[in-house]
Chain A
Amino acid sequence: NAGVTQTPKFQVLKTGQSMTLQCAQDMNHEYMSWYRQDPGMGLRLIHYSVGAGITDQGEVPNGYNVSRSTTEDFPLRLLSAAPSQTSVYFCASSTEDTQYFGPGTRLTVL
């Protein structure tokens, strides 16, 4: 039982490049979320999903896309990376009341 896994652990992009951050969970949770963590800002919700095929925007969705084709996977796409997207990204899957976080992806956009 791996819990929540995220790949890659680290990534450096140039402005304008695209990439997908992968997130997978093996706990059969319906709910999954993406957060970004910036100094002094805490965790901010980017997008979330309440089940396969259902996604919604969080607090800071601009510049990011998500999809949820299976219960297990919830990838986060950056279509055209910007320096403002330099951050640590956490994926979480959850029951109704407890979130389980992945190890994070540290992204730097130059």
Chain B
Amino acid sequence: ILNVEQSPQSLHVQEGDSTNFTCSFPSSNFYALHWYRWETAKSPEALFVMTLNGDEKKKGRISATLNTKEGYSYLYIKGSQPEDSATYLCACPSGGYQKVTFGTGTKLQVIP
């Protein structure tokens, strides 16, 4: 079982603010790092899959970076909107792509 940690646990920001949060994972035997977005009463949905050190991915106002040498990934949201309110999960596979360990998530609330 990998130790995948996310911080902060929760976050309140004003609409229009930019924000970021962290996912930490073991840097040895790294396969990939996944980010998911999980809205209340829905199912998690994939945002990014990152595999290479220095990777940077972007989808609209959301972007992510990856540092496999030091074992962390940052997720950034630029100009937060109320619809960005969700729990953001990161996950790492180990022992093959299907044995996945999730972090406990960062719950983001964007206040209008």
CB within 8 Å of B: which residues of A? 31, 33, 35, 40-45, 48-50, 56, 58-59, 90, 94, 96-104
Contact = CB atoms under 8 A, between A and B. Distances in A.
Nearest to B9: A40
Contacts of B42: 103
Interface in B40-91: 42-46, 49, 51, 89, 91
Nearest to A31: B98
A35 B43 CA distance: 12
Contacts of A44: 102
Contact of A31 (B44, B46, B97, B101): B97
Contacts of A56: 99
B96 interface: yes
A104 B43 CA distance: 7
A41 B104 CA distance: 6
Contacts of A48: 98-99
A41 to B, nearest CB: 7
7 contacts: A33-B98, A42-B104, A45-B100, A90-B43, A98-B34, A99-B44, A104-B43
Given A43-B89, A97-B32, A97-B34, A50 B96 contact: yes
B43 A97 contact: no
A101 B102 contact: no
A97 B105 CA distance: 19
A70 B86 CA distance: 34
A101 to B, nearest CB: 4
B103 A102 contact: no
A70 to B, nearest CB: 17
A59 B101 contact: yes
A108 B44 CA distance: 21
A97 B46 CA distance: 10
A45 B105 CA distance: 15
Nearest to A48: B98
B99 to A, nearest CB: 6
Contacts of A58: 99
B108 to A, nearest CB: 15
